[in-house]
Chains A and B, each alone.
Chain A
Amino acid sequence: MTSSPTSASARQHARNRGLAAVSAITIGAAAAGAVGAASIAIGLSATTATSASSQAQAATSSTSTNNDDSGSTLQAAPAPATSNNAPVATTGGS
């Protein structure tokens, strides 16, 4: 991939809003003749006025009726054990 600087006005706009700078990326070899220009929205680190703690709190408040997925940390579990039994399922990417 290659990158190129964005316009000065775009960078200033980003700084004014306290957000990360912009950049342009060409995906795929041979930028010359690349087709299909598009603007995308990417979540970059931002220092907005939005209350991160309130979002985290909302995300962790418990309303679940089954597993307690509302904790402040990822829930640990006992480590798996080795098995000589035939598997009943598989886990992998999908």
Chain B
Amino acid sequence: MSEQLGWAQWQAIGTTIRLVVTDPTRLQAARGMLTDDLAALDLACSRFRPDSELMALDVSAGRPTTVSTLLAGAVRAALRGAALTDGLVDPTVGRAMETIGYDRDFASVPASGQAIRVTVSHVPQWRQIRLDESTNMLTVPAGVRLDLGATAKAWAADRSAEGIAAAIGCGVLVSLGGDIAVAGEVPVGGWSIRVQDITGDPAEPAQGPVSVITIREGGLATSSTTARRWRRGGDMMHHILDPRTGRPADGDWRTVSVAAGCALDANIASTAAIIRGSSATSWLTKLGLPARLVAIDGSVTTLAGWPKVSS
């Protein structure tokens, strides 16, 4: 780590948080701001705490409900993801997640369990969610539980990076579980980031193919079927659901990393790419999104200018 950068890493919202600043003297202030941001995010958007604003929507049972600006923003980001992926990144998969076993903070999900029988039924989908942004009035159909996991972290990383950079006057990198947003001053040589299957401490070696790249703006996100896995009966489950089937995505890619104008868009794209499978390469190329895709066998494909060098 450069002597010019300060960093901190800790666990929060069920994942690893990493904060890097270009002025180490501002690290404590930055960490305080990020800690506050994450606490507010958790209280608003968590599917795993009964006192969250999101869980309180169950009581609304389909009636319009005034929500906080924070939750409204997170839902808006999720609806953006759905709209831009033809529904592949769908925030209405909360009940499906619970049924296949992801019904609590992942650290508490049993690694294995008995087979379950699931009835897949048609339900109102993301288009049934109504959000009036002028009044923060949100309507979620009765019985639908939102899962904002595909977009909320990246969206929050964008907000926090921008806000902290503006407040403390230096460059900031915010990583929430590997969803990375950068803002403000750029370190010499850019923000150097190691791309891998499962996010971790950069000081520790990573398994699988890795690539060290730099970005100077925007966001970087990775979606992977190799993280958050558990077994039910004879099937291995993971957390990236295909809303068309209600089952974990079963495509060509185990890991997809995307660079985009913001972390939210990078994460929307990486999640959609996993679900798309073989059609992801043409889709990402058409969008002009630099991407690195790791196939099930570990072979690497790069698109739209992503450096081909890897190890």
Chain A interface (Cβ < 8 Å from any Cβ of B): 1, 6, 10, 14, 17, 19-31, 34-46, 48, 50, 52, 55-56, 58-61, 63-64, 66-70, 72-94
Contacts and interface: CB of A to CB of B under 8 A. Distances in A.
Contacts of B169: none
A88 B158 contact: no
A41 B1 contact: no
17 contacts: A19-B122, A22-B121, A25-B118, A27-B232, A27-B237, A35-B115, A44-B243, A46-B124, A52-B127, A58-B76, A67-B261, A69-B158, A74-B287, A75-B260, A82-B212, A93-B222, A93-B255
B100 A80 contact: no
Contact of B117 (A26, A61, A73, A74): A26
Interface string B157-179: 01100110000000001010111
B178 A42 contact: no
Interface of B: 1-2, 5, 7, 15-16, 18, 20, 73, 76-77, 79-80, 82-84, 87, 90, 92-93, 95-96, 98-100, 114-133, 143-145, 155, 158-159, 162-163, 173, 175, 177-180, 187, 189-202, 206, 212-228, 232-235, 237, 243-247, 255, 257, 259-262, 264-265, 268-269, 287-290, 304-307, 309
Q: Name the prevailing secondary structure of the A interface residues.
A: loop
B217 A77 contact: yes
A25 B121 CA distance: 10
Most chain B CB within a 10 A radius of its CB, from A28, A37, A86: A28
Interface of B is mostly: mixed
A92 B200 contact: yes
Given A29-B233, A74-B269, A41 B123 contact: yes
Given A25-B120, A55-B129, A69 B264 contact: yes
Contacts of A25: 117-120, 246-247
Contacts of A46: 122, 124-125, 127
A41 B133 contact: no
